[in-house]
Amino acid sequence: MSLNSNIPSGPLAQKWDQHKFDLKLVNPANKRKFEVIVVGSGLAGASSAATLAELGYRVKCFCYQDSPRRAHSIAAQGGINAAKNYQNDGDSVYRLFYDTIKGGDFRSREANVYRLAQVSVNIIDQCVAQGVPFAREYGGLLDNRSFGGAQVSRTFYARGQTGQQLLLGAYSALSRQIGLGTVQMYPRTEMLDLVIVDGHAKGIITRDLTNGKIERHAADAVILATGGYGNVFFLSTNAVGCNVTASYRAHKRGAFFANPCYTQIHPTCIPVSGDHQSKLTLMSESLRNDGRVWVPKKKEDCRKRAADIAEADRDYYLERKYPSFGNLAPRDISSRAAKEVCDEGRGVGPSGLGVYLDFGDAIKRLGENKIRERYGNLFDMYECITGENAYRQPMRIFPAVHYTMGGLWVDYHLMSNLPGLFVLGEANFSDHGANRLGASALMQGLADGYFVIPYTIANYFATSKQKCPSTDHPSFKQAEENVTGIASRLLGIKGKRTVRSFHRELGKLVWEKCGMARSKESLEAALKRIPELREEFWQNVNVPGSGQSLNQSLEYAGRVADFMEFAELLCTDALNRDESCGGHFRVEHQTEDGEALRHDDKFAHVSAWEFKGVGNKPELHKEELVYENVHMSTRSYK
Amino acid sequence: MANKLNLTLKVWRQDNAADGGRFETYPARGIDEDMSFLEMLDVVNEELIEDGKEPIAFDSDCREGICGTCSLVINGIPHGGRKGTTACQLHMRNFKDGQTISIEPWRARAFPVIRDLIVDRSAFDRIIQVGGFVSVRTGGTPDANSMPISKEVSDKAMDAAQCIGCGACVAACKNGSAMLFVAAKVSHLNLLPQGKPEKTRRAERMVWKMDEEGFGGCSVTGSCEAVCPKEISLDFIAKLNRDFALSVFK
């Protein structure tokens, strides 16, 4: 099957504007005849559901949380990028585009990224109009700060809670539509299968998490905005409920999964404290605006208190290795640098897996009050978790899984290879290449939902002749039987091990073999072990309770069952991509300085995988990446 | 190495909304003081499952204090009583070895129990749906910097906007009132110039909906402010009352 990215022709800067004109429209009176399913209510889901309903489509929106306001976008801390150039520091749409392409290590699509940079400016206008209380200067205008991988200040923020405020903005727009009756909201409802009719995505099967009721929903199109798959690693900064189920079950129905090996390990998270831990907590990248990262120069100093280590004995390794970006080096590079110094035995804290993020100089320069104003809530959170006061002693941080750049394959219209199935936000693969820059996830989620999908979905409706099927169609029956079959199988095993113990073991395996550093040997070992573990899961998992009531063990078991299969896809892709790029670091491919070494001759493509049955090798489809405007240089932040 | 605690839990168990419910007692042994309260419950649940029992159902998601999902009354106090802290961010170092801890769901007429410690808070969503927004559509908005907003006003709106919608304020209130929740949203939007055109209508509709959903009246005792994990100020209730009064006298 050929992968057509449907990138419009013409000069980069005019592609989207011209294409918006070329796309077919649905006239206002006809829009109400089309029904759209939106799965997920984070930035991408809520913004698309609200916007499509405003336009006149009939929308059903689903989320597993008890309210759409709780989707995990809410936890994003630092900010959102936009090429407003309010600082007059040389920013432009082209620069944001270029930084994002370069930050992604030349593994994303030029046309998509350019469009993202273009609409970034509209997002800020939209959010302000909704009442998002972005930080302001005394003159009343919006304030900005810097994020990793950029030399301009283009990040808009609302204290350390930008994701919360943006999500509440999208939630307010969504709520308004629910109140008006144009969106039917289904909270505490999980999508468990995608329904394909005549090759088009035309519905979903859901489970009501409060009473176990399985339902069929038909529509003219299905939008997945279901986030990333970071929880395949068990420990990540994702919410504990985040899962790959919706995406993966769509994959099993034929949607291609692109670049699953592109996972982002965020450099500034609170280190793991013990086996009991259920998740890891991010400390916003914005802290690196004022915090300096260091470890002791000498191993023997690692056990000393930070205050007892003399200035001359500290190694500010990011400033040393990357003088022009310093502490704001991109995430993949900062994470690997932290791993490197810890591997050398210079890590700090009880586990030796930690580095310092020190605000001592910033407090001296700006005063404690200024630092409190900028990052107060983050310092409070740090103290809550660790019991340590970061105004008095440096924070300890370590990299943790945070975001996944890979996702379901989509074309320029954000439509998957299955017509009628659109994928937005973190759930798709398209904009961040092999590494995402800070403050770009919020930008992408809202760009997709507010400003891209309204145009492209209309074109699908106007050109596709597929009618919304009845839920009595045999495809619905078959999908429903699949869903009830999985639940009864899980409940019937009555084995000895809990779901969590399987998830923890899988996550540890994937982290060790396919985490910050990957090799042929480690990946082959993982690919050998994952099917064994999956086999054991299906033989020996213990899922108590019944399917006809609220049953958190059953919900969790279904998600972990999918991670058990998805992990194999992730490692297969990582093994196949025999190069290093961005967050995907194959130890066999590095420069003399230990930086990622790409092989553009062999791997300047998107790897899109087609499901071929559980345990069978998926089929690889390639989409070549063509760079007409930027030169694929070696990334340097030195 | 972190200290270990041995605790006794008295946990509210209730099969569904119709069930009367009861307390059950479970031991929590060898609890690491670095665990969060919810991680402690995870450990207890693992043991319950291994003993062939049904685990305790409780809500949580982000586990970093921002999504507002977790909703436990711990020793009689919503979120457990540590200032400005949700249950998921409450760590076991705040408890003593040998302690008995009671764990209950939010208790309020407008928040019916679904199972064990899980309640239905959809009434909050319905309040937002009648007025917790600025009526703008996507697109066609002016440049973000075309309307300067003083830092003081913006900061104050942000103080109110921080509400995570967890419902602790309702759970703490003897009347089961949602005034702090409503006041936070009304204040966030009514303080900003973008929210001014709908100011009185918003206050009127949200207060009316709050009453309709079965939340009680406010007698300004301040227990809501005391338990609010985002430390939303009681002053916002005064602001809501002013804005609501305007709707009565308009």
pLDDT tens by residue, A85-134: 999 999 999 999 999 999 999 999 999 999 999 999 999 999 999 999 99
Per-residue tokens: A262 = 């592109």
Contact B125 A68 (CB under 8 A): yes
| A237 neighbourhood in chain B, CB within 8 Å | 64
What distance separates the 2 farthest-apart alpha carbons in chain A?
74
Of all residues in chain B, the one with the smallest CA distance to A446 is B138
Distance (Å, whole) CA A96 – CA A114: 8
Q: What is the mean pLDDT of chain A?
A: 96
Among A254, A226, A255, A256, which residue's Cα sits nearest to residue A241? A226
* pLDDT single digits (tens) B92-126: 999 999 999 999 999 999 999 999 999 999 999 99
Kindly report the backbone phi and psi dihedral angles of residue A125, in degrees, each rounded to the nearest multiple of 5, phi listed first. -60, -45
Q: Which domains does chain B have, with CATH numbers?
A: 4-115 (3.10.20.30), 122-249 (1.10.1060.10)
Residue A375: the pLDDT is: 86
Among A574, A568, A578, which residue's Cα sits nearest to residue A616? A568
Q: pLDDT-derived band of residue A465, with 50, 70 and 90 as boundaries?
A: confident
**By percentage, how much of chain A surpasses pLDDT 70?**
100
Per-residue tokens: A504 = 């923890």
Distance (Å, whole) CA A38 – CA A45: 6
Strand B113-115 relative to strand B118-119, pairing = antiparallel
Kindly calculate the radius of gyration of chain B based on its CA atoms and give it in whole angstroms. 20
E strand or H helix at A192: strand A189-197
Query: Do B232 and B184 touch, CB atoms closer than 8 A?
Result: yes
Q: Which three-class secondary structure string do you get for A274-305?
A: CCCCCCCCECCHHHHHCCEEEEECCHHHCCCC
Among A79, A77, A270, A237, which residue's Cα sits nearest to residue A160? A77
* pLDDT single digits (tens) A563-610: 999 999 999 999 999 999 999 999 999 999 888 999 999 999 999 999
Instruction: Describe the strand order of the beta sheet including A58-62 as a list of residue ranges.
Output: A183-186, A58-62, A35-39, A221-224, A421-423
Contact B128 A125 (CB under 8 A): no
Residue A275: the pLDDT is: 87
Q: pLDDT-derived band of residue A160, with 50, 70 and 90 as boundaries?
A: confident
Residue A243: the pLDDT is: 98
Question: For residue A267, which amino acid is it?
Answer: P
Distance (Å, whole) CA B128 – CA B120: 15
Among B231, B215, B72, which residue's Cα sits nearest to residue B164? B231
Q: Which residues contact A358 (CB under 8 A, 6 or more apart)?
A: A291, A292, A293, A294, A306, A394, A395
Of all residues in chain A, the one with the smallest CA distance to B38 is A278
Expressed in angstroms, the distance from the first to the final Cα of chain A is 42
> What mean pLDDT comes out for the span A230-239?
98
> What mean pLDDT comes out for the span B5-34?
96
Cα B87 from chain centre: 10
Per-residue tokens: A264 = 């982002």
Cβ-based burial of A283 (10 A; exposed 0-12, middle 13-18, buried ≥19): buried
**How near does any CA of chain B get to the CA of A184, in Å?**
12
Residue of A172, A493, A550, A560 to mutate for B, most B C-beta atoms under 10 A: A172
Q: Which three-class secondary structure string do you get for chain B?
A: CCCEEEEEEEEEECCCCCCCCEEEEEEEEEEECCCEHHHHHHHHHHHHHHCCCCCCCCCCCCCCCCCCCCCEEECCEECCCCCCCCHHHCEHHHCCCCCEEEEEECCCCCCCEEECCEECCHHHHHHHHHHCCCCCCCCCCCCHHHCCCCHHHHHHHHHHHCCCCCCHHHHHCCCCECHHHHHHHHHHHHHCHHHHHHHHHHHHHHHHHHHHCCCECCCCCCHHHHHCCCCCCCHHHHHHHHHHHHHHHC
Query: Do B225 and B155 touch, CB atoms closer than 8 A?
Result: no
Contact B154 A135 (CB under 8 A): yes
> What mean pLDDT comes out for the span A55-70?
98
Annotation says A331 is catalytic = yes
Per-residue tokens: A437 = 């820059």
Contact A168 B67 (CB under 8 A): no
Q: Which residues of A41-76 are buried (b: 16+ CB within 10 A; e: fewer)?
A: bbbbbbbbbbbbbbbbbbbbbbbbbbbbbbbbbbbb
Among the partner-chain residues B115, B135, B162, the one whose CB lies closest to the CB of A550 is: B115
Among A599, A629, A581, which residue's Cα sits nearest to residue A94? A629
Distance (Å, whole) CA A523 – CA A529: 10
* pLDDT single digits (tens) A515-567: 999 999 999 999 999 999 999 999 999 999 999 999 999 999 999 999 999 99
Distance (Å, whole) CA A273 – CA A397: 11
E strand or H helix at A257: strand A257-258
Q: pLDDT-derived band of residue B194, with 50, 70 and 90 as boundaries?
A: very high
Residue of A61, A64, A164 to mutate for B, most B C-beta atoms under 10 A: A164
Residue A304 predicted with pLDDT over 80: yes
> What mean pLDDT comes out for the span A277-284?
92
Contact B158 A69 (CB under 8 A): no
Of all residues in chain B, the one with the smallest CA distance to A77 is B66
Cα B65 from chain centre: 11
Per-residue tokens: A201 = 């995505």
Q: pLDDT-derived band of residue A1, with 50, 70 and 90 as boundaries?
A: low
> What mean pLDDT comes out for the span A464-485?
96
> What mean pLDDT comes out for the span A373-401?
92
Torsion sign across C-alpha atoms A382, A387, A392, A393 = negative
Torsion sign across C-alpha atoms A15, A16, A22, A23 = positive
Q: Which residues contact A230 (CB under 8 A, 6 or more apart)?
A: A236, A237, A238, A242, A263, A401, A402, A403, A404
- The per-residue DSSP string of A109-161 comes to -HHHHHHHHHHHHHHHHHHHHHT----B-TTSSBP-B--TT-SS--EE-STT-
Q: How many residues does chain A have?
A: 638
Query: Do B167 and B105 touch, CB atoms closer than 8 A?
Result: no
Cα A474 from chain centre: 34
Of all residues in chain B, the one with the smallest CA distance to A350 is B1
Q: Which of A249, A331, A518, A559 is catalytic?
A: A331
Residue A636 predicted with pLDDT over 90: no
State whether residue A66 sits within 8 Å of chain B by CB.
yes
| A131 neighbourhood in chain B, CB within 8 Å | 133-134, 157, 188-189, 192, 194-195
CA triple A314-A315-A321, angle to 5 deg? 160
> What mean pLDDT comes out for the span A164-172?
98
Residue B59: the pLDDT is: 98
Distance (Å, whole) CA B6 – CA B17: 32
Distance (Å, whole) CA B173 – CA B216: 9
* pLDDT single digits (tens) A321-352: 999 999 999 999 999 999 999 999 999 999 89
CA triple A300-A301-A307, angle to 5 deg? 170
Residue B248 predicted with pLDDT over 80: no
Of all residues in chain B, the one with the smallest CA distance to A242 is B61
Q: Which domains does chain A have, with CATH numbers?
A: 266-401 (3.90.700.10), 474-624 (1.20.58.100)
Contact A544 B89 (CB under 8 A): no
Instruction: Describe the strand order of the beta sheet including A214-218 as a list of residue ranges.
Output: A189-197, A200-208, A214-218
Per-residue tokens: A218 = 């038909």
C-alpha neighbours within 13 Å on the C-beta side of residue A433: 31
| A137 neighbourhood in chain B, CB within 8 Å | 151
**How near does any CA of chain A get to the CA of B76, in Å?**
21
Query: Do A118 and A444 touch, CB atoms closer than 8 A?
Result: no
| B55 neighbourhood in chain A, CB within 8 Å | 544, 552-553
> What mean pLDDT comes out for the span B171-196?
98
Taking the CA atoms of residue A52, residue A56, residue A62 and residue A65 in that order, the dihedral angle to the nearest 10 degrees is 70
**How near does any CA of chain A get to the CA of B219, in Å?**
28
Residue A374: the pLDDT is: 83
Query: Do A60 and A35 touch, CB atoms closer than 8 A?
Result: yes
> What mean pLDDT comes out for the span A424-446?
96
E strand or H helix at A563: helix A552-576
Distance (Å, whole) CA B66 – CA B26: 29
Distance (Å, whole) CA B39 – CA B32: 10
Q: In this complex, how many residue pairs, one in chain A and one in chain B, have their CB atoms less than 8 Å apart?
A: 222
The position carrying tokens 């899962």 is: A243
Query: Do A526 and A571 touch, CB atoms closer than 8 A?
Result: yes
Residue B250: the pLDDT is: 64
**How near does any CA of chain B get to the CA of A476, in Å?**
29
Residue A538: the pLDDT is: 98
